[in-house]
Structure 1
Amino acid sequence: MEPIVLIPGLLCTETLYAPQISAFSDRPILVADHRQHNSIEAIARSVLDKAPDAFALAGLSMGGYVAMEIMRIAPQRVTRLALMDTNARADTQEQTERRQVLIRMTRERGFNKVPHLLYPGFVHANRAADENLKSVVLEMAEETGPDAFIRQTEAIIGRLDSRPSLGDITCPTLVLVGDGDTLTPPDLAREMHEHISGSELMVIPDCGHLSTLEAPNAVTEALKAWIGSTSQFSPR
């Protein structure tokens, strides 16, 4: 049965995919470790070193950046691709400056406040006061830790613009985004969808950036359709 490789986002662990891991318990699943390197390419190569010879690949946010790098390095090993709440563009100067502020804050004043500052952007506006979801997000951040956060952030800052290589993707591809995702909005998902011939675009209602946790049932159903497809999705 086709294995699945899942790549989490910034400050996220395998908990990000807990509902989906449960749903796909009938097949091998590898949750990638994206905490050890400070470049997207190095992370991608480390994932490939540990992954099966052929696998379905899904990444959310930063995980999507790594997934797109894997598609440049070893597209022949990927049987299908899911890009969730992510963005094919390189970092803007404004985004880089904000990330560098968080790196400096972590180094000079500690990491404790950083996850709290990031949380509102991670979720739909109607979940800003969801203490249960917030506790899950903060627990993942604590498990990730300050050193890995800095490495991840440096990797995100240095990522390539993936738009020129999206047209080379030929495997069945799902592009998924929450309609209330403010970090990687639906327009950026549509851009990826338009660049990947035959891809499927799915916009999840009442959902923010962490779609796998915010709308687990809808995302899992979308992934079941994706993993069950035998050819390119029909364009919409």
Structure 2
Amino acid sequence: MPDPRQPLVLVPGLACNQTVWEAQVAALADVAQVTIGDTLSDPSIPAMAQRILATAPARFALAGFSMGGYVTMEIWRQAPERITRIAFVDTTAGADDADALRLREAAIATAEARSLEAVLRGSLQRLVHPSAPREVAERVVAMALDVGLERFAIQQRAIQHRPDSHADLASVAVPALILAGAQDRLIAPERLERLHRTIPAARLALIADCGHMAPMEKPAEVTRHMRGWLAA
């Protein structure tokens, strides 16, 4: 008997692995056949997208977190006919401006000079809401250290070269979700609003008392919104 569950590909973010989506993989198992996209083996966003497409089902739902959102946008550019629905979690469709480019290079330089852990711990206030349990912050650090400095630097530079994706996303005509922590300090509200205007049929949802790491900070809320998106 065919499996009635939807194929769903979840794409991790910068310095993330399958851990970032761990709660959603478990909680959505009754409605989705979940696979995690590989963002750790390639030096560019287009190459990451190509690798995911090479191993994904013929048609599938697609959700990307943070940098994974940039990969999701590239997958849409390369093969929109294969995407049944699309979700963007704590991400933006714009390219880096000059300040963002400098900050990424500074993060790489600091990690190489002092350690990746030093960069991570210095960034926790921007990554995780103050109300989040300490264990969430420690899991974020442990996950990034597992990814490692070399991949962190490769991913930062891949992100620097991404294009602005607003024009490409204007063609999205499948069920779409834009989801973010209401206190995400890395994604400005006006960027979320512009993404929402770009995809008129998308549903925009903000999660209260939540920072950038929404899938780990508020797993039940993220799962609830994604379950509704999968049923749309």
Unmatched tracts of structure 1, length 5 or more = 230-236
Q: In the alignment, what sits opposite 1:180?
A: 183
Q: SS at 1:30's partner residue?
A: strand
Look up the equivalent residue of 2:77 and give its one-letter code: R
Look up the equivalent residue of 1:103 and give its one-letter code: I
Look up the equivalent residue of 1:78 and give its one-letter code: I
CA distance in 2, matches of 1:36, 1:62: 14
The Cα shift of 1:115 comes to 1.5
Structure 1 segment 1-236 matched on structure 2, within 5 A? 1-26=5-30, 27-127=32-132, 130-229=133-232
Look up the equivalent residue of 1:189 and give its one-letter code: L
The Cα shift of 1:85 comes to 0.6
CA distance in 2, matches of 1:107, 1:206: 33
Question: Percent identity over the alignment?
Answer: 37
Look up the equivalent residue of 1:111 and give its one-letter code: L
TM-score normalised over the length of structure 1: 0.92
The Cα shift of 1:107 comes to 3.1
**Contact 1:85–1:185, Cα closer than 8 Å, also in 2:** no
Q: SS at 1:112's partner residue?
A: helix
CA distance in 1, matches of 2:100, 2:151: 19
Look up the equivalent residue of 2:109 and give its one-letter code: R
CA distance in 2, matches of 1:107, 1:219: 34
The Cα shift of 1:74 comes to 0.4
CA distance in 2, matches of 1:11, 1:120: 16
**Contact 2:42–2:48, Cα closer than 8 Å, also in 1:** yes
**How many residue pairs align between the two structures?**
227
C-alpha deviations, 1:184-224, integer Å up to 9, x for none? 13321121111112111111111111111111111111000
Look up the equivalent residue of 1:114 and give its one-letter code: V
**Contact 1:82–1:173, Cα closer than 8 Å, also in 2:** yes
**Contact 2:27–2:223, Cα closer than 8 Å, also in 1:** yes
**Contact 1:179–1:185, Cα closer than 8 Å, also in 2:** no
The Cα shift of 1:17 comes to 1.1
The Cα shift of 1:109 comes to 3.7
Look up the equivalent residue of 2:163 and give its one-letter code: L
Unmatched tracts of structure 2, length 5 or more = none
